Structure 1
Amino acid sequence: MQEQKFHYATVTEAIAKLKEQGYTHEFSLEGDYFKDGEETFKASDFEIADLYRYEGPSDPADEAIVYALVSPAGEKGTLVTGYGVSTDEATIETLKNLHYKYQQGRQD
């Protein structure tokens, strides 16, 4: 049986539902590392399990992507980033590699 993919109505709802699924780390991206409090994880060790894109109805600054990230060691967490005008080049480059892994996994 294939798992059905949902698109949650808001960023807050997506994060809450992902937490229920075990995505308990709340990552921030610092260079090539994900941080959650004092814990640091190498970004290249993670793959994107899913992502949810949100567009602001009137303000491009409201655009965000929620990433569900998982490592082979079983670490799971979320990362929320802006996109479009809200994203910096370093974030784009780091996530581009993870996004490729996500696309590659979806083609199998």
Structure 2
Amino acid sequence: METIFNYDSPSVALAKLKEKGYTVDFNVEFDSISNAVDEFTIDYLYRYEGATDPGDESTVYGIRNLNTEEKGVFVAGDLSLIEGRKRDIIVQLEIRSKS
């Protein structure tokens, strides 16, 4: 997993990932990850840390299915504000992708 900090904005990260073929919106299609967590990995993780407002912080994940090579993105603000199961899955993928 490649982690990139302080990029220009989430839209810049999304554009870069789209150029690399990450086209599925996993914020909408999260069930495909939820139903087969072990088949997914995080390839890219972009973190934006707002200089003046913590509310500006966000993370853009480039996620890939290891079996089908389907690629997409998941965008999160503060992970603690995301519903339980979704947050747990993203954290699990992050931990697994770091090792």
TM over 0.5: yes
Supply the RMSD in Å over aligned alpha carbons. 2.4
Count of aligned positions? 92
8 Å Cα contact 1:63/1:84 also seen in 2: no
Residue number in structure 2 paired with 1:31: none
AA of the residue aligned to 1:19: K
CA distance in 2, matches of 1:61, 1:71: 30
Q: Which residue of 2 aligns with 1:10?
A: 9
User: Quick one: distance in 1 between partners of 2:22 and 2:65?
Assistant: 11
5 Å-filtered alignment, 1:22-37, equals 22-28=21-27, 35=29
Pair 1:5–1:81, CA change in 2 (3 A): closer
**Structure (1 or 2) with the greater helix fraction:** 2
Cα deviation, residue 13, structure 1 = 0.7
**What's 1:61 paired with?**
55
TM-score (norm 2): 0.77
Question: Does structure 2 conserve the Cα–Cα contact (< 8 Å) formed by 1:48 and 1:99?
Answer: yes
Mark the runs of 5 or more structure 2 residues left unpaired by the alignment: none
Structure 1: any 5+ residue segments left out of the alignment? 29-33
Counterpart of 2:32 in structure 1 is 41
Which amino acid counterpart does residue 76 of structure 2 have in structure 1? Answer: T
- What is the Cα deviation at residue 49 of structure 1? 0.5
- Paired with 2:59 and 2:92, the residues of 1 have a C-alpha distance of 16
Query: Equivalent residue of 2:15, what SS?
Result: helix
Name the SS of the counterpart of 1:96 in structure 2: helix
Q: Which structure: greater strand fraction?
A: 1
Cα separation, 1, equivalents of 2:79 and 2:33:
25
Equivalent position amino acid for 2:90 in 1: L
